[in-house]
Amino acid sequence: MIRIVFVLASLVISFVVNAQDLEKSLLWKISGNGLEKPSYLFGTMHAVCEVNFSDKVKKALDETTQMYLEIDMDDPTLQASMMKGIMMKDNATMSSLMTAEELKIVDAFLKENVSISIKMVDKFKPFMISAMLIPKLLDCPMLNVEAELIKISKEQNEEIYGLESIADQLAVFDKIPYQTQVEELVKAAKDNMVNDKIEMKKMLAIYKDQDIEGMLDIMDESENRISSDFNDILLNDRNANWIGVIEEVSNEKPTFYGVGAGHLAGEKGVIKLLRKKGYKVEAVN
């Protein structure tokens, strides 16, 4: 009886600990489960105003011998591979998914903000156009955390790899209805990105606070349906696909992983998925 009570108590404690919110930290140490040396997991953001890596992040970069980002951004064939995946399938076009009035609004919006007409990008996946507009959401010259990590990796003469291919990443946006993507682009054009700018400002503040749970929350609560309604496609499915890669790679070499901060938190986030596999994943503060 005592043994049964002890086991049940252990299970309850384990459940409570696992259900707790994660600490505020962008840097996490991966160890245990047979790893000879620790690897590190770092939450990035694709568009920021400043990049200031702490000494602990720099130390983690020094202690690892290679880098994995979501995709291999240092791949010389990246641009060519991207061009193959940016078009919508089945000859779909953005103009066919809009009313005449919406088409007029979006065309003027794109000309004003990125100096292109919709005719030039009519077959592009709408989300790609939204991505082109990201610098306009910032009140500063855009910086990219991954690009700064790559600079350090190159200085250390280390290889850079990807947890997934650019083809895998672009295929995600074939799973999200093109109509939904177009509707979000139309919304941005109609309010001249006012709401998107508000959400970006909140996200930057949360990222600066290293609040990875907050990053996930703001995506869930976003008025942008792509962020709020398609978490499994954008985050959870990809997280699950990465775990096997992280396990294999970390057993071979101590590795620095840089992925979007939104991928870290939550029950289906990378941190808790690794913990469920038996790894010790702890915040480095």
Query: Do the domain assignments include residue 49?
Result: yes
Query: Do the domain assignments include residue 79?
Result: yes
pLDDT above 60 (res 9): no
Query: Do the domain assignments include residue 7?
Result: no
Q: Give residue 240's domain range.
A: 20-283
Structural domains in the chain (count): 1
DSSP string, 236-285: IHHHHHHHHHHHHHHHHS-EEEEEEGGGTSSTTSHHHHHHHTT-EEEE--
pLDDT band, very low/low/confident/very high, at 73 (cuts 50, 70, 90) = confident
Cα(277)–Cα(265) distance, integer angstroms: 16
Query: Do the domain assignments include residue 9?
Result: no
pLDDT band, very low/low/confident/very high, at 79 (cuts 50, 70, 90) = confident
Query: Do the domain assignments include residue 13?
Result: no
Which has more pLDDT, 5 or 215? 215
pLDDT band, very low/low/confident/very high, at 82 (cuts 50, 70, 90) = confident
Query: Do the domain assignments include residue 11?
Result: no
Query: Do the domain assignments include residue 139?
Result: yes
| Residue range 94-135, pLDDT digits in tens | 999 999 999 999 999 999 999 999 999 999 999 999 999 999
Query: Do the domain assignments include residue 172?
Result: yes
